[in-house]
Amino acid sequence: MTMLADDPTAAALLAAMPCYPVPSQGRSPAIEALRTARAGQGLAVGHDGVMLILRRPWLALDAWVTPPISAYLPYGSAGTPRADLRCGLIPGELLKRILEHLRGALPNESAAFIFWNAVTREFSVEFPIIDEATPSRLVYHPPILRPDWYLICDIHSHAAGPAFFSATDDVDDAHSTKISLVFGRLDHASSPLAASRLCAGGMFLPLPRSPFAGDRHES
Ligand SMILES: [Zn+2]
């Protein structure tokens, strides 16, 4: 078989993010292997667009990275987008604990991480070491991952401020695969405001639903 690249660096990049045309009948062993992999990523090129297929032990994501291709391509469909939590929904008690912690830090901002263990399939909550916290600024240590543990949710509060992703948040989230959550208006007795997104493949994607079990409030 002819190599796609003869330069070793170029070949390594193509191996890290392979790209497969979809055969007209829609099935391909290489794409199937990518979809069932424990971890990996690649692109499927269909007549209906280019799909990023990204797998982590906790996440199965198929997301369009282009609109349908207007040129004629004798290819099949790249499939249907999905964003499924392979780890299952996060127990609702963890959200309660986190909101208590964030409220306890008022008037300052605060943060929390949710990790998941791919071997035992348990979730855990950790609160980061904070270097500086004010009502509008937060500097905290990034999570330290132990073997088999994955960061699922990176959560911070905007204290009494509105819930949205700031330019600083965009920079912080740019290169990770995780769910990012911001809570705001925590000084109000009623339920706080939340903003959420899935960070993957350098994109910020809407979450189809709350990642917490029993959480009716869609963000
Ligand atoms: Zn923020």
**Nearest residue to 211 via CA among 95, 126, 101, 132:** 95
Could you give the C-alpha distances from 71 to 22, 49, 134, in angstroms and in order?
15, 10, 53
Please indicate, yes or no, whether residues 38 and 102 belong to a single structural domain of this protein. no
If you search the block for the tokens 């992999």, which residue do you land on?
37
* Radius of gyration of the chain from its Cα atoms, rounded to whole angstroms: 20
Strand, coil or helix: 87: coil
Higher-pLDDT residue of 163 and 218 is: 163
Range of the domain at 16: 8-85
Return the bridge partners of 156, or none.
Answer: 111, 182
Gap between the Cα atoms of 204 and 213, Å rounded: 22
**Nearest residue to 114 via CA among 166, 152, 73:** 152
Please indicate, yes or no, whether residues 80 and 164 belong to a single structural domain of this protein. no
pLDDT band at 189, cuts 50/70/90? Answer: confident
Identify whether 38 is part of a domain.
yes
Cα of 195 to ligand 1 centre, how many Å? 10
Please indicate, yes or no, whether residues 198 and 173 belong to a single structural domain of this protein. yes
pLDDT > 70: percent of the chain: 98
Give the CATH number of the domain where residue 168 resides. Answer: 3.40.140.10
Cα of 169 to ligand 1 centre, how many Å? 5
Cα of 66 to ligand 1 centre, how many Å? 28
Cα of 196 to ligand 1 centre, how many Å? 11
Cα of 101 to ligand 1 centre, how many Å? 16
**Neighbour tally for 185: CB within 10 Å:** 17
Gap between the Cα atoms of 108 and 45, Å rounded: 47
Cα of 80 to ligand 1 centre, how many Å? 32
Instruction: State the total domains in the chain.
Output: 2
Reading the block at residue 129, the tokens are 């070491």
- Looking at residue 60, its amino acid is A
Distance from the first to the final alpha carbon of the chain? 49
Gap between the Cα atoms of 74 and 24, Å rounded: 7
Model confidence over 56-97: pLDDT tens digits?
A: 999 999 999 999 999 999 999 999 999 999 999 999 999 999
Cα of 38 to ligand 1 centre, how many Å? 31
217 has a pLDDT exceeding 70: no
Cα of 121 to ligand 1 centre, how many Å? 29
Reading the block at residue 139, the tokens are 């500097």
Cα of 69 to ligand 1 centre, how many Å? 36
pLDDT band at 214, cuts 50/70/90? Answer: confident
Model confidence over 146-185: pLDDT tens digits?
A: 999 999 999 999 999 999 999 999 999 999 999 999 999 9
Please indicate, yes or no, whether residues 26 and 58 belong to a single structural domain of this protein. yes
Gap between the Cα atoms of 112 and 108, Å rounded: 14
